[in-house]
Amino acid sequence: MIKLALFVRLEALPGKAAEAQDFLHAALAMANDEATTPIWFALKLSPTTFGVFDAFHDEAGRQRHLSGPIAQALMSKGQELFTFPLNIEPIEVLGLKNAG
């Protein structure tokens, strides 16, 4: 059962919205390779605001994700694209419908 999640709101630096969107598109391939991240969304909340929502079965999976390739890419390349510091919010999932 999916019990835990993360949400991070990302604000693109001026003139970097298109590159930020491309970065998130590319991150999907990395998310697909993470066996302990069964749910991952890249979101466009406004022309310059993006978000990532991902969910996990347990804390071990969440921690693996936080030290995995997406997090590493975000910390290295993300500073060229997004305002920092990032606000990574841990979330508890109370219910889930996945019609697949």
At 34, give phi and psi (nearest 5°): -90, 105
pLDDT recorded at residue 99: 76
25 band by pLDDT with thresholds 50, 70 and 90: very high
Overall size of the chain counted in residues: 100
Domain boundaries, the chain: 11-49+68-84
- Cα separation, 46 vs 72, whole angstroms: 25
DSSP sequence for 83-100: -SS-EEEEEE--------
pTM given for the model: 0.92
